[in-house]
Amino acid sequence: MTDDNLFEALYQNAGRDRDRLGWNRSGPNPMLMTWLTAEPRTRGRAMVVACGVGDDAEYLASEGWDVTAFDFSPSAIEWCRERSPDSVVDYRVADLLNLPQQWSGAFDLVLEVFTIQSISPDQTRLVIEAIAALASARGTLLVSTLIREADEPRNGPPWPVPREALMGFSGLDEMSRVEHETPYPGIALLEVEYRRG
């Protein structure tokens, strides 16, 4: 995966200070909280992709989900375990483009927040396919990412994802889509719910 050393270095250099992470957000993702409270949902197995310091994973576990969460950075996973030493979350170090086979199609809910945009654009399709492959036969995928118009420059990281790349997320059906304005011209924050089957 591109930029592996960059992310491990960022977590190491942060010295357990969240404010030194450029994407610091305290608490679970608002899209996830809204989705969980919108209607009664059957709890099942959940996967948090590139889990960072574990806020979303811990929130899902507190809501009764059986949670697995991974990050490429060993330092990020160590930080998760230090923050929540009694956690029931199964934290793992893993490479998104080389995931354990037993994870394929294994999760009722997959959460992806800002991972696609953090990886070089030449890997976007592979990243999307790897994330989609985690969802079970009736699984839900929640995606939050920055998007850009096709003619906007591809400077990064982060690399906002071309809007069209998220149309038909590797064969999943789009259930809802919300776009939020950002301070950056030509860049929006996209939140999408996809479902398989």
Residue 15's pLDDT is 66
Higher-scoring residue by pLDDT: 89, 150: 89
Cα–Cα distance, 61 to 37 (Å, whole number): 15
Mean pLDDT of the chain: 89
pLDDT tens-digit map of 38-85: 988 889 999 999 999 999 999 999 999 999 999 999 999 999 999 999
Buried residues in 57-86 as b, exposed as e (16+ CB within 10 A): bbbbbebebebbbbbbbebbbbbbeeebee
Torsion of CA 187, 182, 160, 106, to 10 degrees: -130
Q: Which of 138, 143, 145, 144 lies closest to 195, judged by CA?
A: 138
Ordered structural domains, the chain, with CATH? 4-14+27-195 (3.40.50.150)
pLDDT tens-digit map of 15-31: 667 666 666 567 899 99
